[in-house]
Structure 1
């Protein structure tokens, strides 16, 4: 499929970090991604780097070689600290599922438990949805649940408002917000890097085995406003800054025995790098233990992987996305990370009549079968309300 046409087609689907999968796409984001693709085709390769501008991976040893093959679910901090957790643990106990991805720093930027860390208190803000984080960790250990801490990185309204100098500011000095009222902080800022890594290190001390970083990117459409906003920057490209953050995080966390994973748009495996927001699928993958492409069938539109309506073709869509993922990562050779996709356990009714189907047991099992048929045996289930389908065979 012509790559520019593909982006116009894909624009009908919703994009975001994994915490925003069920939102319609804005016109602004459509223009942003089409522009990003065009720019990427003319981008020069990085200087002083390896093949295709990829820097050498300095952390090649998996810090957790005895980790299980993860089959997990997303859990909001509200669920983790509330009554729904009992149901979710029962799901773990009675199925092949064995892991939870729990919000530790959420989509607004709140630290979701009470922290006494002065570094975190200075820059961030706690909203203790999880009233007793230590009790939660004991509970997860008791039920042999592999704990993954989700940390939303550069989308951070709390940090931006509290520390405007770490964000993107308009001409009048006020903090810039996107169409949804969200603010981002500056990926060029080492202080922002260290703040998020400090959160990750505290999560490690609490007992989390893996840190999953989300929103590891600049705001959507950033290339159209980069010169108008006020922020500190260097001569580095946005792609290099983002991949350097991931590499730095991994180097900081590996000595603690902590794995690093990153969420990334699923279609990123099928298209050139998005220079506008600073995401390059291969460069990011080169610096993580696990890469988690968000390959929800509902997020692809007519023509992708030969499917007229991808949401109605979960097996075909997932299979095609995984084949592209394997091709994209082939150049990394032995440095290829574990592929652990996010798959769909929700119904995308916002797509409108004829463009979606109700997702249930069959559709989830078809996605899992597609993963298995393409050599992928780890995955994560996404449902924003944490209401997961009953009776699924998680093979």
Structure 2
């Protein structure tokens, strides 16, 4: 009887005995994970998995690429080609399994494939949102890409371009382009939010609760003299002006309930005003005293003898900026205020105590004080931006040229805030600063020079400069003329916005003109 050789076996009658012989096409030779016409990266050929129906037959398998034998690795019942590196272009993979019976043909599999080692050319336009409340558009070009991922979203590529609209505004995101071979190119992109600017006055929580101080400020707003109110959230006494729900604030008795935050925000927003919440970070005697007395002394800045740092601030007044619990406390308050509806979180005392650092100890500090402050602000912006708030940092005027005096590195921290607010009060400068012999008597000259320095230092960081200007008298009488000189100087230096400071919260002598 004749049996055609088309199945997996051939039956031979030899001396009356039936013998089974495996035909070449029945060896079960398979090349998996690597289809004909594949486009792969230079290392992509490592995905090849060569198997046979009988694992013992692997010893009879030979592998060639472009007609040249290649070294194959045999393990775990398969053959792989680890370590093979190929140039760009088209290649041929040939796999041959010899039949144990030499008069029968070998099994062969051939794959033609292309190696592509060139990642897509990815360019992302400057990503800038009009508001931290969103949305934000991310777009650019991705020549050679088959797909683009913006953050966690897959977006289409058409004619080499892509565009995605995000409802929320992150501080940064990753944009990645991939091609069919598996080549990838990514950019980690900072998302800028340009501050709209402000003409603002400072109001403490207690002042806002006092009609004789609050009403003139509301009148200034109605007349168009200001467009923003800066209202204290937590001040340098460590007191929180409203009924905070932050657990640690309630535990240490920080709440003072001077105002109903939600009601005030509704009132001021109803007048078309923006509201900046001033949050004093590390000068906090309420937290400092409670921490020291409860045994959590690492929360407090210390002197070289292990006592609480005091200097001119008072005992327990300066908390430890390097302590995670202190940082988390301030971030929790910032998040709560942003969620309530404060438009900006403006940190003050976001620094170390001034004075000789050799006499200070900050338990847990593992980096420079300057970098620790930068990291704190970075973490804050990541926390408050999803809640729709801008982040600002009040800084010393001298920090522009003496960053280590209070741990405020202006270019470094500017990369992690939406604006810096230098305190450039003329009365606080010494004679000869910026070449001005008597700064207090020459408000235009000293403000223009110092603000211009901050504008220069923040260039390219995405941060705006919004200075604190002087609306009080100290050693020199200040009235409308002096205030106007400062606002003009700041504008001429490239920073038209401003915040006016008067600790008494009286601004009848500010002389601001309606816009």
TM-score greater than 0.5 by the shorter chain: yes
Distance in 1, matches of 2:196 and 2:208, equals: 21
**Which residue does 1:262 correspond to in 2?**
393
**Which residue does 1:360 correspond to in 2?**
479
The change in CA–CA distance for 1:95 and 1:123 in structure 2 (over 3 A counts) is: same
Question: Is 2:357 the partner of 1:238?
Answer: no
1:345 to 471, 480, 483: 471
Give the C-alpha shift of residue 81 in structure 1. Answer: 1.7
Question: Is 2:244 the partner of 1:103?
Answer: no
What are the equivalent positions in structure 2 for 1:104-253 lying under 5 Å apart?
104-123=233-252, 125-130=254-259, 132-164=260-292, 165=297, 166-169=299-302, 175-182=308-315, 183-226=317-360, 229=361, 231-253=362-384
Distance in 1, matches of 2:305 and 2:495, equals: 50
* Preserved CA contact (<8 Å) 1:222 1:277: no
The change in CA–CA distance for 1:282 and 1:172 in structure 2 (over 3 A counts) is: closer
The change in CA–CA distance for 1:133 and 1:225 in structure 2 (over 3 A counts) is: same
Question: Is 2:392 the partner of 1:273?
Answer: no
* Preserved CA contact (<8 Å) 2:396 2:423: yes
Superposed CA RMSD? 2.1
**Which residue does 2:451 correspond to in 1?**
322
Give the C-alpha shift of residue 394 in structure 1. Answer: 6.0
Give the C-alpha shift of residue 172 in structure 1. Answer: 8.0
SS in 2 for 1:128: coil
Q: Which has the higher strand share?
A: 2
* Preserved CA contact (<8 Å) 2:192 2:462: no
SS in 2 for 1:127: coil
Distance in 2, matches of 1:266 and 1:200, equals: 24
* Preserved CA contact (<8 Å) 1:304 1:310: yes
Distance in 2, matches of 1:169 and 1:342, equals: 30
Question: Is 2:456 the partner of 1:336?
Answer: no
SS in 1 for 2:216: helix
**Which residue does 1:392 correspond to in 2?**
512
The change in CA–CA distance for 1:113 and 1:59 in structure 2 (over 3 A counts) is: farther
SS in 2 for 1:188: coil
**Which deviations, in whole Å up to 9, do the C-alpha atoms of 1:29-67 show, x marking residues without a partner?**
xxxxxxxxxxxxxxxxxxxxxxxxxxxxx883245x5x6
- Where structure 2 has 5 or more consecutive residues not aligned to the other structure, the ranges are 1-187
TM-score, normalising length: structure 1: 0.76
TM-score, normalising length: structure 2: 0.59
Give the C-alpha shift of residue 169 in structure 1. Answer: 4.4
SS in 1 for 2:437: coil
* Preserved CA contact (<8 Å) 2:434 2:446: yes
Q: Which has the larger radius of gyration?
A: 2
Give the C-alpha shift of residue 374 in structure 1. Answer: 1.9
Give the C-alpha shift of residue 124 in structure 1. Answer: 5.3
2:204 to 76, 83, 97: 76
Question: Is 2:377 the partner of 1:285?
Answer: no
2:490 to 371, 374, 381: 371
Distance in 2, matches of 1:327 and 1:78, equals: 37
The change in CA–CA distance for 1:107 and 1:363 in structure 2 (over 3 A counts) is: same
* Preserved CA contact (<8 Å) 2:443 2:485: yes
SS in 2 for 1:343: strand
The change in CA–CA distance for 1:302 and 1:170 in structure 2 (over 3 A counts) is: closer
Give the C-alpha shift of residue 239 in structure 1. Answer: 1.0
Give the C-alpha shift of residue 391 in structure 1. Answer: 3.7
The change in CA–CA distance for 1:141 and 1:295 in structure 2 (over 3 A counts) is: same
The change in CA–CA distance for 1:305 and 1:126 in structure 2 (over 3 A counts) is: same
The change in CA–CA distance for 1:394 and 1:298 in structure 2 (over 3 A counts) is: farther
**Which residue does 2:218 correspond to in 1?**
89
Give the C-alpha shift of residue 122 in structure 1. Answer: 2.8
SS in 2 for 1:376: coil
* Preserved CA contact (<8 Å) 1:160 1:184: yes
* Preserved CA contact (<8 Å) 2:233 2:241: yes
Distance in 2, matches of 1:193 and 1:285, equals: 19
Distance in 1, matches of 2:334 and 2:510, equals: 32
